[in-house]
Amino acid sequence: MAMNYDVAIIGAGAAGMMAALRAGQKGRRVILLDHAKAPGEKIRISGGGRCNFTNIHASAKNFLSENRHFCKSALARFTPSDFIAMVDRHKIAWHEKTLGQLFCDNSAKDIIRMLLDEMHAGKVDMRLGCEISDVARNIDGFILRTSEGAIAASALVIASGGKSIPKMGATGFAYRIAEQFGLAVTETRPALVPLTLEPNLLGDVAPLSGVSVDAIVSHGKTSFREAMLFTHRGLSGPAILQISSYWREGDEIHLSLEPELAILDLLKSARKDNGKQAVQTVLAQYLPKRLAQYLTERLEMTRPLADQSDRAFLSLEASIRRWAIKPAGTEGYRTAEVTLGGVDTRQLDSKTMMANSVPGLFFIGECVDVTGWLGGYNFQWAWASGHACGESL
């Protein structure tokens, strides 16, 4: 005999827990299944352990999707303020770090505890360490074959996330279920991920490994201004993670380092005041020392300022302001914060997240082709899509 529920949700991550608590609190009998041993594992490790749980500026422009308007409805109906109200109700202290990014003062575990308490209030039946071997549809809804036994539910919500960090239990489960029910999945690729460089280029920038600098990093018309980091494998840091979601194999990205620095003026006035100084010494007052050394050596500007022409200064400025780099690849799903692409939103109802062609089947969170920028946007999408789904159940 199958256990009977109104709703079965697969995936006890951010989106699945939000949908479960909403549906449970509306009086639905909800079962939440996860093959992991603990719920919300990605919440636990997020934001360096403090969970960047939302971004107060979240709007559709902060998301990538083949169907850019899809996310608007859910985002408008469950806003950052709505999530903050829940956090405040649970007396979780938080602060804005930068650029509208909200973090817990104490620990990401506070957010998990909050979601568990809310699910408890909705009498959600959570089963962890549960393997799902088969999903089928019948006249009453869905039948799941699981390690907990057979489960029957009128509605099935897939909240099993994307492919990023397989070590933490990420699987392509959602995409397989989408395909089983005839839904298209857009191309998936690692996003918010460090970029790698081919060996020659890596050797060239090796002296910069560990150097962090404020930069505008651009790809085509898209650019982000945040810190970037040279690593022993390539490029990382917030600005690089952001641009990685837009970058494609073979493309160049452009770096403008310390964008507010008036390099030409500074060099010219230093030449006037003290022409005996080395170019590197002047640059090192404004840029990390190793970067100043690398740039001047690369342009062979080893003679003092007085021996440098305006043209040489212009070349130096160009190498700081218009540095074109062609990454070789990305670090892949092993370290990617999210998966770009996913279940094609053109087949989902934007108000409920239900598949148009399969009544009762819902997809929410990261498995859907809606991917946020770095900075709390991905959790906001998980909360908003989970809430939209939970409300409609």
Binding site for ligand FAD (CB under 6 A): 10-16, 33-36, 41-42, 45-47, 51-52, 132, 159-161, 164-165, 169, 171, 173, 337-338, 365-366, 376-379, 382
Looking at residue 308, what DSSP letter applies? -
Lookup: tokens for 306: 């007085």
Least CB distance from residue 360 to ligand FAD, whole Å?
A: 19
Instruction: Say how many C-beta atoms besides its own lie within 10 A of residue 376's C-beta.
Output: 29
Of 41 and 344, which CB lies nearer to ligand FAD in the complex structure?
41
Looking at residue 141, what DSSP letter applies? E
Q: Which helix (H) or strand (E) holds 144?
A: strand 141-146
Of 77 and 272, which CB lies nearer to ligand FAD in the complex structure?
77
Q: Using CA atoms, how far apart are residues 387 and 22, in angstroms rounded to an integer?
A: 6
Least CB distance from residue 7 to ligand FAD, whole Å?
A: 15
Q: Using CA atoms, how far apart are residues 113 and 31, in angstroms rounded to an integer?
A: 18
Least CB distance from residue 174 to ligand FAD, whole Å?
A: 8
Of 141 and 238, which CB lies nearer to ligand FAD in the complex structure?
238
Instruction: Say how many C-beta atoms besides its own lie within 10 A of residue 325's C-beta.
Output: 15
Of 48 and 199, which CB lies nearer to ligand FAD in the complex structure?
48
Beta-strand pair 323-325/253-257? antiparallel
Of 14 and 31, which CB lies nearer to ligand FAD in the complex structure?
14
Q: Using CA atoms, how far apart are residues 262 and 167, in angstroms rounded to an integer?
A: 46
Of 366 and 369, which CB lies nearer to ligand FAD in the complex structure?
366
Q: What value, to the nearest 5°, has the Cα angle with vertex 297 and ends 295 and 301?
A: 95
Q: Using CA atoms, how far apart are residues 369 and 71, in angstroms rounded to an integer?
A: 10
Cβ–Cβ < 8 Å for 348, 65: no
Of 51 and 279, which CB lies nearer to ligand FAD in the complex structure?
51
Least CB distance from residue 92 to ligand FAD, whole Å?
A: 15
Q: Using CA atoms, how far apart are residues 8 and 282, in angstroms rounded to an integer?
A: 64
Least CB distance from residue 267 to ligand FAD, whole Å?
A: 40
Q: What value, to the nearest 5°, has the Cα angle with vertex 213 and ends 231 and 53?
A: 85
Least CB distance from residue 168 to ligand FAD, whole Å?
A: 7
Give the residue at shortest CB distance from ligand FAD: 13
Q: Using CA atoms, how far apart are residues 169 and 34, in angstroms rounded to an integer?
A: 10
Of 49 and 359, which CB lies nearer to ligand FAD in the complex structure?
49
Least CB distance from residue 384 to ligand FAD, whole Å?
A: 11
Of 13 and 234, which CB lies nearer to ligand FAD in the complex structure?
13
Lookup: tokens for 152: 């029957």
Least CB distance from residue 162 to ligand FAD, whole Å?
A: 7
Least CB distance from residue 245 to ligand FAD, whole Å?
A: 12
Instruction: Say how many C-beta atoms besides its own lie within 10 A of residue 326's C-beta.
Output: 14
Length of the chain: 393
